[in-house]
């Protein structure tokens, strides 16, 4: 059954903790002097494998600073123009600053433009973060090369409660006295997880809309897009029925013929997953804080599972989406247990209590004996034991002990404040009278009530 297929949970801040040091070095609109630039480049060298070119000794630093400032203004102007082009549906304006020599880029940018217009952002803006140095990019494009990390800040109506940020890397060159965008993929490997792999970055899409649902599929994949939108609406209904949190958002589901979308990797680490919910950030990890600020989540469907998407699977993922913006610090056993709790309540409503009782007994008999404690965050998704089943059992047990409303409040408290083990222990103990250790002991002696 799809609900028992391991689904990747909300990556949350946890997956980002090991993020490249480079991301922490944000210039935020500061005009770099050559000296600053060198220092920063040295600091980044370990992460980006690049070096700063030596400053031209014959030129006065003030002239270089002036040139850098002029370049910043020129690039800002291009970025503003491109955002305006999307908001006014003006393709010619969007393509106006592309390098005419790069025909492939032009074709790809036409598709990108059509996709961005189809999504229909209420807010869209691009800004320059810091310059990056890469000898091979410099060699390919010449001495005027300007490789820069770009922050794309956008808001999809109803889906994003606040503007969110994603990263890009653009290569500009100066030719005939003006700046041109000549590549948009030369920094991809040095960006954070899932950068430049957003729903609109991967080929021509179409958007299917329902009440509180937005589904992105390949252009022409209309029937499947509509079917997924229907299932998502039902999954959303289950979440609002079985999870007490009042969530009013819309669900963004991406179902493309791609194994890597955002930070989902269905070709390797997420290969067993039918779907995964990845985090959106109002402030990226490293931008203002190490963990970033979580804004919400988007659902990505495994391309091989697109025909098997049902409301049971989606109710699991939508539970993650509905709880994503609470903070993301809840333990994974609670996040996955709550998502499984909601989807199994949906199964129970359809097929009666028999199947749930049978499954619960299997978890008690087979899964619990394989573990010696509640599954920890570390290695959760790599664990070969049925950590989803055990997490589900833990939430079932807590619902029986303190009631669903109290479990939901426990979840919110954990998501907001469970930043370390001591905080998690304190929250769990004060709200349930149990520690993780005594909760585990309770599960090992738990006999489901019939
Ligand atoms: Zn999950």
Residue 246 C-alpha to ligand 1 middle, in angstroms?
20
Contact predicate 183/102, CB 8 Å:
yes
Mean pLDDT on 46-57 = 48
- Beta pairing, strands 213-218 & 251-255: parallel
SS3 category, 388: helix
Three-state secondary structure call for residue 301: strand
Q: State in Å: Cα 196 to ligand 1 middle.
A: 24
Domain 206-325 has CATH 3.10.129.10: no
Q: Is the separation of the CB atoms in 208 and 225 below 8 Å?
A: yes
With beta carbons less than 8 A apart as the criterion, state whether 6 and 272 touch: yes
Domain covering 21-190: architecture: Roll (3.10)
Q: Give me the residue spans of the domains in the chain.
A: 21-190, 206-325, 329-450
C-beta of residue 231 within 8 angstroms of C-beta of residue 311: yes
pLDDT at 270: 76
The model's pLDDT over 255-297, given as tens digits with 9 standing for 90+, comes to 999 999 999 999 887 778 899 999 999 999 999 999 999 999 9
Alpha carbon distance 369, 383 (integer Å): 14
pLDDT 10s digits, 107-148: 999 999 999 999 999 999 999 999 999 999 999 999 999 999
d(CA 250, CA 104): 35
pLDDT greater at residue 311 or residue 33: 311
Instruction: Quickly name the fold that domain 329-450 has.
Output: Neutral Protease; domain 2 (1.10.390)
Ligand 1 geometric centre to CA of 313 (Å): 9
Predicted pLDDT of residue 84: 98
Give the C-alpha separation, 307 to 90, whole Å: 36
Percent of the chain with pLDDT over 90: 80
Q: Report residue 61's pLDDT band, with 50, 70 and 90 as the boundaries.
A: confident
Higher pLDDT, 244 or 59: 244
Question: Hunting for tokens 């700063």 — which residue is that?
Answer: 52
Q: How confident is the model over 79-100, as pLDDT tens digits?
A: 999 999 999 999 999 999 999 9
Residue with tokens 């019939």: 450
Instruction: Report, as an integer, the average pLDDT of 426-448.
Output: 94
Instruction: Calculate how far, in angstroms, residue 269's C-alpha sits from the geometric centre of ligand 1.
Output: 14
Mean pLDDT of the chain: 88
**CA of 19 relative to ligand 1 center, distance in Å:** 22
CA 31 to ligand 1 center in whole angstroms: 43
Residue 222 pLDDT greater than 60, yes or no = yes
């Amino acid at each position: 059954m799809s609900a028992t297929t391991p689904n990747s949970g909300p990556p949350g801040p946890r997956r980002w903790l090991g993020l490249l040091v480079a991301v922490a070095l944000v210039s935020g609109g500061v005009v770099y002097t050559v000296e600053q630039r060198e220092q920063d480049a040295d600091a980044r060298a370990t992460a980006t494998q690049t070096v700063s070119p030596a400053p031209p000794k014959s030129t006065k630093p003030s002239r270089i600073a002036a040139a850098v400032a002029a370049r910043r203004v020129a690039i800002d102007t291009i970025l503003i123009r491109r955002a305006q082009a999307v908001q006014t549906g003006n393709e010619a304006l969007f393509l106006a600053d592309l390098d005419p020599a790069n025909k492939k880029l032009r074709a790809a940018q036409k598709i990108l433009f059509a996709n961005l217009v189809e999504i229909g952002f209420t807010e869209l803006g691009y800004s320059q973060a810091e310059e990056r140095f890469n000898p091979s990019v410099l060699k390919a494009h010449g001495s005027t090369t300007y490789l820069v990390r770009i922050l794309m800040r956008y808001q999809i109506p109803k889906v994003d409660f606040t503007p969110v940020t994603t990263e890009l890397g653009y290569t500009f060159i100066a030719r005939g006295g003006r700046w041109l965008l000549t590549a948009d993929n030369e920094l991809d490997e040095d960006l954070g997880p899932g950068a430049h792999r957003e729903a609109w970055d991967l080929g021509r899409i179409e958007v299917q809309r329902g009440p509180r649902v937005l589904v992105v599929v390949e252009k022409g994949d209309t029937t499947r897009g509509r079917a997924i939108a229907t299932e998502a609406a039902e999954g959303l209904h289950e979440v609002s029925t079985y999870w007490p949190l009042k969530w009013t958002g819309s669900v963004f589901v991406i179902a493309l013929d791609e194994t890597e979308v955002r930070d989902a990797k269905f070709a390797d680490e997420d290969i067993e997953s039918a779907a995964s919910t990845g985090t959106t950030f109002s402030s990226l990890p490293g931008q203002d804080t190490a963990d970033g600020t979580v804004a919400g989540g988007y659902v990505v469907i495994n391309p091989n599972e697109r025909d098997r998407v049902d409301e049971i699977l989606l109710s699991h993922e939508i539970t993650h989406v509905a709880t994503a913006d609470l903070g993301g610090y809840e333990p994974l056993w609670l996040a996955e247990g709550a998502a499984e709790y909601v989807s199994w309540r949906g199964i129970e409503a359809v097929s009666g209590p028999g199947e749930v009782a049978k499954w619960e007994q299997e978890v008690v008999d087979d899964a619990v004996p394989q573990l010696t404690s509640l599954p920890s965050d570390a290695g959760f998704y790599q664990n070969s034991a049925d950590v989803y089943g055990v997490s589900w059992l833990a939430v079932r047990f807590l619902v029986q002990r303190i009631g669903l409303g109290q479990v939901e409040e426990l979840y919110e408290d954990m998501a907001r404040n469970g930043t370390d083990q001591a905080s998690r222990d304190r929250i769990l103990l004060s709200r349930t009278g149990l520690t993780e250790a005594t909760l585990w002991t309770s599960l090992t002696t738990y006999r489901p009530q019939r």
